[in-house]
Structure 1
Amino acid sequence: MTLTLIYEDEHLVAIDKPPGLLVHRTQLAAREEEAALQLLRDQLGRPVWPAHRLDRGTSGVLLFALSAEVASLLGAMFEQGRMAKRYLALVRGWPAQDEGLIDHPLARDPELPSAGQTMLEAQTRWSVLDRIEWPIAADPRFSTTRIALLEAEPLQGRRHQIRRHLKHIAHPILGDATHGKGPLNRAVAAYLGQQRLWLHAQRLTLAHPVTGTALRLQASPDARWPASGRVQAENRRLPTKRRPA
């Protein structure tokens, strides 16, 4: 696999990570032979350090440092929230409002029961970009399924923050095996011809850790997202009759 570079200088490199690719190898996925860190290292012919993480299923902007010193600077910036992150997410249902702020503390480790864990401050801003209706009968009461395309901005970097927060407001991300609904995820995968987590890191904005220059790193979602002509055309062919609110 050849990774798509979206930015490169003597200190940093950013890639457009495809969905399903690990950031780095772990014991939990010991059988996986490919990971972004190793692929990028081999592609550039030099060591690289990941500045942050994306879930395996998440696609989009992933930033690496080209030295341990720059990696340390970036780590402090991420920890202090001195950058802005914007994601696209396809979620179940239509939110009643066009935008909102989720202010809901999260347990440090999402893999463990929340009871007894330290609860960390977490806020996520979100806004609706589009409301869609697909001819998917995941619920026997309805012949169609409502989907919303959201832009989400996590104000911290808690693990699985966007996924957990959107589940908290009853709009889980499609394809999320942990926080979503299995029957709907399977129906969406069959409809779109792809099983994946529909979460994309679209933009990362920060000051360059060495030069101070403003950086705006962007990666467009792939053609299978609802903005693609194929999905838009299918949506336009749907009948205009809507379900009761």
Structure 2
Amino acid sequence: MFVVPDDLQGRRADDVLQHWFVGVRRPALRRLLRGGLVELNGQPLMPWRKVRADDVLVLDASVDVDSLPCQDKRAKIEAPSVLYEDASCLALAKPAELPTVPGRQGEASVHDYLVEWFGARDLRVVHRLDRGTSGVLLFAKGREAAQALDVIFRERRIDKIYLALVRGLPRHDEFSVDVPIGRSVRGGRVSLRVGKGARDAVTDFRVVHRWRGFALLEARPRSGRQHQIRAHLMSAGLPLAVDPLYRGAAGVFLSEFKADYRHRRGDSERPLIDRLTLHAAQVSFASPDPAVTARVKVDAPLPKDLRVTLAKLGRFATHDAQENETASP
């Protein structure tokens, strides 16, 4: 049995089955549907039929799931750490290599792996982290919890803290960026503008540490717009150290800041980190679980790639804040 989650609302049946049976070839799933082997609310489901959230799909008992032909495109990814759990929600340490939910290309996502990791539990997406962003990711347990958490997010009764490794040196230890964010434009980047379609967006920043040419910032978004932190950092002249979409680089390399770096002949230098240098470090909120009376605070430790990068910066890129460097507000 598979309960259609909110984020698959309006999708075709053959799309939805690919989220149920991750890795199984699409033609095989269509054959199941055309053969009447999958039912929707007690009726045979056709491949082109669009489903709704909370629809119940049932696979005929005669189907041997293990014999379905698979496409070996999905890597085995170990279950992430459970950072917090109560009767209403589950908080995971999201791996950087996975998006929260599948994109248009149907790539593997955290959502796809939930059944594999945690069994047939009704875990629902309540917010998202970009592919490349690591850290705290919350899931609701069931419909009522999802609705309650959705209200908490919409009413901004949840506090989120991110750590961002950026290029450039902030002039001030604390600053805010108040720039409206518009709809996504061509290329996947949001627009920063005032006018039709733009929505208010404010992010508060605090400097945690400065190195030569790099800084670690704490970011506290007051709103939850798409790509908000990334776009606001770009507008402040402090792009994420790795973020090609918003004027960051494709990677952080040791040769950028280690003065006596020597390149091995015949080998290309590998980056210390080549994904978004953004980490969802903490969320705090009042849990919908009536048994939890204190405010919940969930912390996600830094993953290895960021820890190593910060350690290398600390060793080889020490920076006197009074040196002549280009500074941003």
Which interval holds the TM-score relative to the shorter structure?
Answer: 0.7 to 0.9
Q: 2:239 aligns with which of 159, 167, 172?
A: 172
**Which segment is superposed worse, 211-220 or 53-62?**
211-220
| Alignment correspondent of 1:213 | 294
- Deviation of residue 148 (structure 1)? 0.7
Which residue in 2 is equivalent to 1:51?
Answer: 126
CA distance in 1, matches of 2:231, 2:285: 25
Q: In the alignment, does 2:308 pair up with 1:234?
A: no
Q: Structure 1 pair 233/207, CA: closer, same or farther in 2 (3 Å)?
A: same
Aligned mate of 2:172, from 97, 113, 119: 97
Divergent runs of 4+, >6 A: 238-241
Q: Which runs of 5+ in 1 are unaligned?
A: 134-145
Is 2:121 aligned against 1:42?
A: no
> Residue 13 of structure 1 aligns to which amino acid in structure 2?
L
Contact 2:190 2:226 in 1 (8 A): no
Distance 1:169 1:126 in 2: 11
C-alpha distance in structure 1 between counterparts of 2:287 and 2:304, whole Å: 30
What is the Cα-based RMSD across aligned positions, in Å? 2.6
For residues 73-152 of structure 1, the aligned pairs below 5 Å read 73-109=148-184, 111=188, 114=191, 117-133=196-212, 146-152=213-219
Q: SS state of the match for residue 24, structure 1?
A: coil
Aligned residues between the structures: 227
Local SS of the residue matching 1:159:
coil
Task: Output one character per residue of 1:33-86: Cα deviation in whole Å (capped at 9) or x when no partner.
Answer: x31112123221112101101001110000001101111111111111011000
Measure the CA separation in 2 of the matches of 1:150 and 1:9: 31
Q: Is contact 1:108–1:158 with CA below 8 Å preserved after alignment?
A: no
The aligned counterpart of 2:306 is 225
Corresponding residue of 2:21: none
Paired with 2:221 and 2:313, the residues of 1 have a C-alpha distance of 27
Pick one of 81, 87, 94 that aligns with 1:4: 81
TM-score of the superposition, structure 1-length normalised?
A: 0.83
Choose between structure 1 and 2 for higher RCO, CA contacts under 8 A separated by at least 6 residues. Answer: 1
* Aligned mates of 1:23, 1:240 — CA distance in 2: 38
Q: Which residue of 2 aligns with 1:71?
A: 146
Residues 117 and 57 of structure 1, relative CA distance in 2, 3 Å threshold: farther
* Paired position in structure 2 for 1:140: none
TM-score when scaled to structure 2? Answer: 0.63
Displacement of 1:191: 6.5
Alpha carbons of 1:124 and 1:40: their partners in 2 closer, same or farther (altered >3 Å)? same
Give the Cα–Cα distance (whole angstroms) in 1 for the partners of residues 230 and 95 of structure 2: 18
Tell me how far apart the structure 1 counterparts of residues 206 and 190 of structure 2 sit (CA, whole Å). Answer: 29
- Percent identical: 33
2: CA distance between counterparts of 1:150 and 1:112?
A: 22
**Cα distance per residue 1:123-178 (max 9 Å; x no partner):** 00001000012xxxxxxxxxxxx001000000000000000111111101121121
1:223 positional shift: 3.2
Give the partner amino acid of 1:235.
Answer: A
Distance 1:191 1:99 in 2: 33
Contact 1:88-1:149 within 8 A present in 2 as well? yes
d(CA) in 2 for partners of 1:153, 1:6? 20
Equivalent runs, 1:190-201 vs 2, <5 Å: 192-201=271-280
Asked whether the 8 Å contact 2:96–2:131 carries over to 1, the reply is yes
